[in-house]
Amino acid sequence: MDVDGNHSRRSFLKATGGTIAAVSLAGCSGSTDESGGTDGGSSGEASGTINYARGAATKSLDLHKIDDGESVKVTNQIYDKLVQFVPGKNEIEAGLATEWETEGKTITLTLREDVTFHNGEDLTASDFVATYKRFTDPEYEYYIGEEDATSYAGNTFGEVESVEATDETTVTITTKKKFAPMLRNLAVFAAGVMSEKEIETGEQFDSTAVGTGPFTLDAWQNEGEKIRLKANPDYWGETPKSEFVIFLAVGENSTRVSKLTSEDIHIIDGIDAEGADRIDKADGVELVQKTGLVTGYMAMNLEKREEFRNTKVRQALNYAVDTKAIVDSIFRGFASQSSQAVPPAVPGHNEDLDPYPYDQQQATSLLEEAGFGDGFDFTLTTFTNPRPYIPSPSQAAQKVRTDLKEVGINVTIEKKSWNDFLNYTIAGKHDACFLGWNADNGDPDNFLRPLLHPGIESPDGQDWASFSAEGYNVYNASGWANQEFMQKVEEAQTIIDDDDARMKLYNEANQISHDEAPWVFLDHADELRGVKDAVSGFKIAPVGGPFLDLVSVE
Amino acid sequence: MASKWFVIKRLLLLIPVLIGISTVVFAILHLGGNDPAAVMAGQGASQEQIETIRSELGFDDPIWVQYTRFLSDVSQFDFGESYVLKPGQPVWGSILADKLPVTIELAIYGQLFGVMLGVPLGVLSAIKQNSLTDHITRIGALAGISVPIFWSGPLLIILFANILGVLPASSRIDTQYFIEGPWAFFGHELPLTGLMTIDTLLLGNIDAFVSAVEHLLLPAAVMGIYSMALISRMMRSSMLEVVRQDYIRTARAKGQGQKITMLKHGLKNAFIPVITVIGIQFGTMLGGAVLTETVFGISGLGVILVNAIQAGDYPVVQAAVLVFAMLFTLVNLTVDITYSYLDPRIQQ
Q: What is the 3-state secondary structure (H, E, C) of A34-101?
A: CCCCCCCCCCCCCCCEEEEEECCCCCCCCCCCCCCHHHHHHHHHHCCCCEEECCCCCCEEECCEEEEE
- Report pLDDT for B32: 63
CB contact under 8 A, A423 and B38: yes
Q: Over the stretch A204-215, which tens digit does the pLDDT of each residue have?
A: 999 999 999 999
Nearest to B98 among A223, A256, A474 (CB): A223
Q: Kindly state whether B307 is in contact with chain A, defined as any CB-CB distance less than 8 angstroms.
A: yes
Average pLDDT over chain B reads 83
Among the partner-chain residues A151, A219, A265, the one whose CB lies closest to the CB of B175 is: A265
Check pLDDT > 50 for residue A479. Answer: yes
Residues B225, B227, B230, B232, CA torsion sign: negative
Q: Which of A77-81, A411-415, B45-49 is the least confident region?
A: B45-49
Q: Is A221 on the interface with B (CB under 8 A)?
A: yes
| Position A418, amino acid | W
Residues of A in contact with B314 (CB under 8 A): none
Q: Which of A206, A255, A451 is best to mutate for the B interface (most B CBs within 10 A)?
A: A255
Tens of pLDDT, residue by residue over B203-258, are 888 999 999 999 999 999 998 888 888 899 999 999 888 888 888 888 888 888 87
CB pair distance less than 8 Å for B312 and A385:
no
Check A423 against B307: CB less than 8 A apart.
no
B38 CB near a chain A CB, below 8 Å?
Answer: yes
Give contacts of B88 with chain A, Cβ < 8 Å.
147-148
Whole-angstrom CA distances from B86 to A414, B49, B89, B90 are 29, 20, 6, 8
User: Residue B38: its chain A contacts at CB < 8 A?
Assistant: 423
Q: What is the mean pLDDT of residues A467-485?
A: 90
Q: What is the pLDDT of residue A223?
A: 79
Within the 259-288 window of chain A, which residues sit less than 8 Å (CB to CB) from chain B?
A: 259, 261-265
Is A377 an interface residue toward B (CB < 8 Å)?
Answer: no
Contact between A423 and B311 using a beta-carbon 8 Å cutoff: no
pLDDT score of A27 more than 50 = no
Mean pLDDT along residues A322-347 = 93
Contact map slice: B 228-247 vs A, CB within 8 A: none
| CA B209 – CA B92 distance, rounded (Å) | 27
The reported pLDDT for the residue numbered B346 is 64
> Which of A52, A226, A260, A267 is the mutation pick for testing B, counting most B CBs within 10 A?
A226
- DSSP symbol at A116: B
Query: Above pLDDT 90, what percent of chain B?
Result: 8
Q: What is the pLDDT of residue B41?
A: 67
CB < 8 Å to A423, chain B = 38-39, 43
Query: Where do runs of H (alpha helix) occur along A251-392?
Result: 253-262, 273-281, 311-320, 323-325, 360-369
Q: Is the pTM of this model over 0.90?
A: no
CA-based nearest distance A81→chain B, Å: 26
Interface test with chain A among B57, B167, B171, by most A beta carbons within 10 Å: B171
What's the pLDDT score for residue A465? 92
A536 CB near a chain B CB, below 8 Å? no
- Window from A81-95, B26-40, B323-337 with minimum mean pLDDT: B26-40
Residues 6+ apart with CB under 8 A from B176: A49, A51, A246, A264
**What pLDDT score does A50 carry?**
95
pLDDT at A303: 94
Q: Name the average pLDDT for chain A.
A: 87
* String of DSSP letters for A327-345: IIIISTTSEEE-SSSS-TT
Which pLDDT does position B44 carry in this prediction?
A: 57
Per-residue pLDDT, A5: 33
Pairing status of strand A432-438 against strand A410-416: unpaired
A426 touches chain B (CB under 8 A): yes
CA distance A455 to chain B (A): 13
User: Is B88 within 8 Å of B81 (Cβ atoms)?
Assistant: yes
Tally of CB atoms within 10 A around B222: 27
Strands A106-111 and A97-103: antiparallel
Give the per-residue pLDDT at A23. 33
CB contact under 8 A, B44 and A51: no
Identify which of A57, A252, A474 has the shortest CB distance to residue B297.
Answer: A252
User: CA dist A75 to A71, A122, A333, B12, Å?
Assistant: 6, 20, 32, 50
Check residue A15 and give its pLDDT: 33
Range with the poorest average pLDDT among A26-30, A476-480, B110-114: A26-30
What value does the mean pLDDT take over residues A253-267?
Answer: 88
Kindly compute the dihedral angle of the four CA atoms of residues B312, B313, B316, B322, in this order, to the nearest 10 degrees. Answer: 30
Q: Find all residues with CB under 8 Å of B163, minimum gap 6, and list them.
A: none
Please tell me the distance in Å from A283's CA to the nearest CA on chain B: 12
- Name every chain B residue with its beta carbon within 8 A of the beta carbon of A147: 88
* Pick from B162, B174, B310: CB nearest A258: B162
Residue A305 contacts residue A478 (beta carbons within 8 Å): no
Sequence letter at residue B279: G
A305 interfaces chain B, CB cutoff of 8 Å: no
Per-residue pLDDT, averaged over A324-347, amounts to 93
| pLDDT tens profile A416-445 | 877 778 888 888 999 999 999 988 899 999
Could B312 and A420 be called an inter-chain contact, meaning their C-beta atoms sit closer than 8 Å? yes
Question: CA A28, A34, A35 angle in degrees (round to 5)?
Answer: 105
Count chain A–chain B contacts defined by CB atoms under 8 A. Answer: 89
Q: Report pLDDT digits (tens) over A54-84.
A: 988 888 899 998 888 889 999 999 999 999 9
**Inter-chain CB proximity B170 and A228 less than 8 Å:** no
Name which of B162, B170, B175 is nearest A51 (Cβ-Cβ).
B175
Per-residue model confidence (pLDDT) at position B260: 80
The DSSP output letter for A140 is S
pLDDT digits 0-9 by tens, A145-200 = 888 888 888 889 989 999 999 999 999 999 999 999 999 999 999 999 999 999 99
Closest alpha carbon to A157 in A136, A172, A178, A127: A136
Q: Which residue of B has its CA nearest to A223?
A: B94
Residues 6+ apart with CB under 8 A from A164: A129, A171, A172, A174
Counting residues of chain A whose pLDDT is more than 90, the rounded percentage is: 67
Which of A251, A258, A474 minimises the CB distance to B299?
A251
Position A38 confidence tier, pLDDT thresholds 50, 70, 90: very low
Label the pairing between strands A377-383 and A244-249.
Answer: unpaired
Instruction: Give the pLDDT band (50/70/90) at residue B34.
Output: low
Is the preceding omega at residue A214 within 30 degrees of 0, hence cis? no
Q: Does A256 touch chain B (CB under 8 A)?
A: yes
- Among A13-22, A532-541, B10-19, top mean pLDDT goes to A532-541
A418 chain-B contacts, CB cut-off 8 A: 310-311
Distance between B61 CA and the closest CA of chain A, angstroms? 22
pLDDT in tens, A147-158: 888 888 888 998
Contact B169 A148 (CB under 8 A): no
Among residues B203, B196, B170, the alpha carbon closest in space to that of A263 is found at B170
Q: How many helices (H) and strands (E) does chain A have?
A: 17, 20
How many residues are present in chain B? Answer: 348
Q: What is the pLDDT of residue A20?
A: 33
Mean pLDDT of A359-380: 94
Q: What is the pLDDT of residue A42?
A: 45
Whether residue A10 is predicted with pLDDT greater than 70 in this model: the reply is no
Nearest CB to A147; choose among B88, B296, B312: B88
Rounded to 5°, angle at Cα A419 from A415 and A421: 35
CA dihedral B17, B23, B28, B29 (to 10 degrees): 120
| Low-confidence winner among A471-480, B54-63, B192-201, B243-252 (lowest mean pLDDT) | B54-63
**Closest-CA residue in chain A for B154?**
A255
**Binary contact (B178, A223; C-beta < 8 A):** no
H helices within chain B, ranges in order? 2-31, 36-41, 47-56, 63-75, 97-127, 132-146, 149-156, 196-202, 206-243, 246-253, 258-260, 268-295, 301-311, 314-342
CA distance A251 to chain B (A): 6
Report for A396-410, B171-185, B292-306: range of highest mean pLDDT: A396-410
Check B178 against A219: CB less than 8 A apart.
yes
Residue B161 to residue A423, Cβ atoms within 8 A: no
Task: Quote the percentage of chain A above a pLDDT of 70.
Answer: 92
* Polymer length in residues for chain A: 554
B296 touches chain A (CB under 8 A): yes
